[in-house]
A and B are shown apart, each in its own frame.
Chain A
Amino acid sequence: MRPRFSRFLAAAVAIVLLLPGLSSAQRGRGRGEGRITVPARATAEDRAALAQRHGAPPGWTVPRTSDGHPDLRGVWVEPGGPRGGRKLSELLTDPPEGGIPALTAQAQEDWDALQAYLEEHPADTWADRSLGERCVTLGAPVRANFNQYYKLVQNKDHVVIVMEWIHEARVILLDGSPHPDPDIQLWLGDSRGRWEGESLVVETTNYLPKGYAGTHQRGTPQGWFHSLNSKELVVTERFTLIAPDLIFYDVTIDDPLIWARPWTVMIPLKKQNEPLFEFACHEGNYNLANILSGARVSEQEAAAAEADSK
């Protein structure tokens, strides 16, 4: 079996397998490699030291595109998966003392209500299932610990992130144009980028306030970027090529209706020498039909058992 297919199988079951592992996310504390990030005012010497520590040959400098910007093109993966990944909390760089912040009181109430509903109604309709199971989206920003492949393509006015899962091409505009009207809401949000020194900085707004549907899962929402969001969510991503095959990817989640304070994680993205495959998720989604029909069978069996016992 080709390694990539194993990875797909892993991805296919990861939605389920990852959940228990992340349920203790909030208790974790920032530590280890996750604490490494590129200081905003890093000097050339700082960078060179970091690059060498991460495998860059001496004298390596950031390659540039013909537009003069750092060349981020390539296929990247957040090394993860059920066994290889770290908890989101371990990737935290802010708050500096660690611990993904608490939900606001209202968000906690909404989350608890959703959990209670789903406990009673796990599969009444397709709408009760997660966005991943439904092949709608895995969302943006880049997801931690999913072994997901991302292909970055860039030119003067655009960076595109093609996500293998659900074949979404997220187009980030660098031309200085504004976000659209707030009433225009998008599953992946609306992304505008700019170059700040050596980093690509992307601000994303206009999110559909339906991210919670992405988790429809047990446990705490602190393990996922997309577990909960309101239309106030602003995500700031910072891509910094730090060595030939390594991007330091800082992402800040700021949603005052959901989180008690903003928080930031740093996910190291590793370069791959493999192509993306087309992941025709919805086109081959027998899973969702089976979940629903299985739930109906379970209900019939339960009803029959109850009738027998009377």
Chain B
Amino acid sequence: MRNENMKKPNRREDMAPAVVALALVMAAGSVLAQDYRAPRTSEGEPDLNGIWQAMGAAHWDIEGHSARMGPIVELGALGAVPAGLGIVEGGEIPYSPAARAKQQENLKRWWKLDPAIKCFMPGIPRANYMPYPFQIIQSAQNVIFAYEFADASRIVYMNRPDFEAPGDNWMGHSRGHWEGETLVIDVSAQVPDTWLDRSGNHHSIEIHVVERYTARGPNHIHYEATITDPQTYTRPWKVSFPLYRRVEPNMQLLEFKCVPFAEELMFGHLSKGVWKAGDSE
């Protein structure tokens, strides 16, 4: 023990030059990334076309968290929750006390209550950090987001700030514009029924999200979303994380049409006899 304690400062000293060098490299790298100018589409806009996916454990819990046991004993380690640093700037969601209490209640039975278990559309920003790829297809008047999960999709109406939402939406009403290298999307009119992750983090019908997509390299988008919802949070707050391009050869979006995976859960109690996995679906 003692020896180890003695060694620690020395080791840290040994590493100091390397740490400084690494910091310099990272600083230089981030300057370069900030200055990155994306290739242009034929319509002259930064080209974000591609298939993108977030990495990490935010889909389990957007706040920083340790690994923890999952709710289903049979799934053992495979059902456990991996640790994550969190994507919330400042660490914690600024809930009102009542809203935090509701999140804690949600968390106790998240696997019963999370709407995504039923294959409901996940809403924004959650769709962007689920562990499924999504595709951006750009065109001057519209940018399309096609999500593999639940076949959710969004039509972003570009440069039409006056086009109000015709109704409330699970995936929101998206109006976009370019600010230099950044695609900015104002997402309004979301239903209150979606969650932000599998840990009961929630919002109300007043949620308003402003997303910013900025290419920081050929295969990397910096994503930020500012979330405002005075009914749930004491102030606007922000999530940010990288989106990575899926660079595999011939990468394409496949289907995760999950309705058939949730129907027995949702409707099985109304069946006559027992439906078995492997039966017609």
Interface residues of A (CB under 8 A from B): 65-67, 73, 123-127, 134-137, 151, 153-158, 160, 162, 166-169, 171, 173, 177-178, 180, 184, 186-188, 190, 213, 275-278, 280, 282-283, 288-289, 292-293, 295-296, 299
Q: Which residues of B contact A187 (CB under 8 A)?
A: 255, 257
Which residues from chain A contact B170 at a C-beta distance below 8 Å? Answer: 278, 280, 283
Interface: B58 (CB within 8 A): no
Pairwise interchain contact B270-A158, C-beta atoms closer than 8 A: no
Nearest-CB residue, chain B, relative to A151: B155
**B226 adjacent to chain A (CB < 8 Å):** no
Known: A162-B155, A167-B151. A124 touches B271 (CB 8 A): yes
Q: Are B166 and A277 in contact (CB under 8 A)?
A: yes
A168–B263 Cα distance when bound, in Å, is 19
**A-B contact sample (18 more), CB < 8 A, given A67-B42, A167-B151:** A65-B42, A127-B275, A137-B257, A153-B155, A162-B144, A167-B152, A168-B151, A168-B153, A173-B252, A186-B254, A275-B163, A277-B167, A282-B119, A282-B259, A283-B121, A283-B170, A292-B267, A296-B270
Inter-subunit contact A296/B272 (CB<8 Å) = yes
The docked-state distance in angstroms from the alpha carbon of A154 to that of B139 is 6
What's the least CB distance linking B161 to chain A, in Å? 15
Q: Do residues B259 and A134 form an inter-chain contact, with CB atoms below 8 A?
A: yes
Min CB gap A117→B, angstroms: 9
Closest residue of A by beta carbon distance from B41:
A155
In the complex, the answer to whether A135 meets B259 with C-beta atoms within 8 Å is: yes
Closest 6 CB pairs of A and B: A292-B270, A169-B146, A169-B153, A125-B271, A278-B169, A66-B42
In the complex where A151-B155, A278-B171 touch, is A136 in contact with B259 (Cβ < 8 A)?
A: yes
**Known contacts A125-B273, A283-B170; is A213 also within 8 Å of B280 by CB?**
yes
Interface SS of chain B? loop
Chain B contacts with A in 97-150, Cβ cutoff 8 A: 118-121, 135, 137-142, 144-146, 150
Chain B: interface residue total (CB-CB under 8 A) = 52
State in angstroms the CA–CA spacing of A73 and B135 once bound together.
18
Question: Which residue, A123, A168, A180, has most C-beta atoms of chain B within 10 A?
Answer: A168
Q: How far is the CA of A190 from the CA of B253 in the complex (A)?
A: 10
Name 12 A/B residue pairs within 8 A (Cβ), A-sorted: A73-B139, A126-B267, A137-B151, A153-B137, A156-B42, A160-B137, A160-B144, A171-B253, A282-B119, A282-B259, A288-B263, A299-B272
Assess the B151–A155 pair: CB atoms within 8 A.
Answer: no
Q: Are B264 and A126 neighbours in the complex by a CB distance under 8 Å?
A: yes
B152 / chain A contacts, CB cutoff of 8 Å: 167
A residues in contact with B259, CB < 8 Å? 134-136, 282
Give the complex CA separation of A127 and B42 in angstroms.
46
B254: A residues at CB distance < 8 A:
180, 184, 186
Q: Contact check, A134 vs B49: say whether CB atoms are below 8 A apart.
A: no
Tell me whether A157 and B144 are in contact in the complex, defined as CB-CB below 8 angstroms, given that A124-B271, A186-B254, A275-B166 are known contacts. Answer: no
**Bound CA–CA A137/B151 (angstroms):** 10
A289 — which chain B residues lie within 8 A by C-beta? 266-267, 270
